Amino acid sequence: MGVKLKFRPSSSKGKKGSVHFQFIYRNERHVPSGYNVYPDEWHDSFACIVIPENTDSERKEYLREAFKDLSEKLATFKKVFAALKWQKRIIPSIRSLNYASNRRQT
């Protein structure tokens, strides 16, 4: 169970690629984030948007907003997955306790 940010470069050289969320739960799903960045605006190792030095102010603002929005969404998704992991561990143990207590009463 998990979620990551991934970058898919454009098949056309010099064009923007897309940033998407990768959800991993039993199988893998890719969901577009709605943001497009150039390869030099993406840091592979840290899986996040970076702002190159020679970027104009309008593009910098777009990248800042995208970074902020993606960070918030990623944090939210991680909280949801953590809650699901916790629930997955706790619910079966509660069910087994209920089953055991019901068996003792009969």
Tens digits of residue pLDDT in 48-99: 999 999 999 999 999 999 999 999 999 998 888 888 777 766 555 545 555 5
* Structure confidence by residue, pLDDT tens digits, 14-47: 899 999 999 887 788 899 999 999 999 999 999 9
Give the integer Cα–Cα distance in Å for 71 and 12. Answer: 27
Neighbours of 36 (CB within 10 A): 17
Is residue 105 pLDDT above 70, yes or no?
no
| pTM given for the model | 0.75
pLDDT at 37: 97
Three-class SS of residue 24? strand
Rg value, the chain, Cα: 21
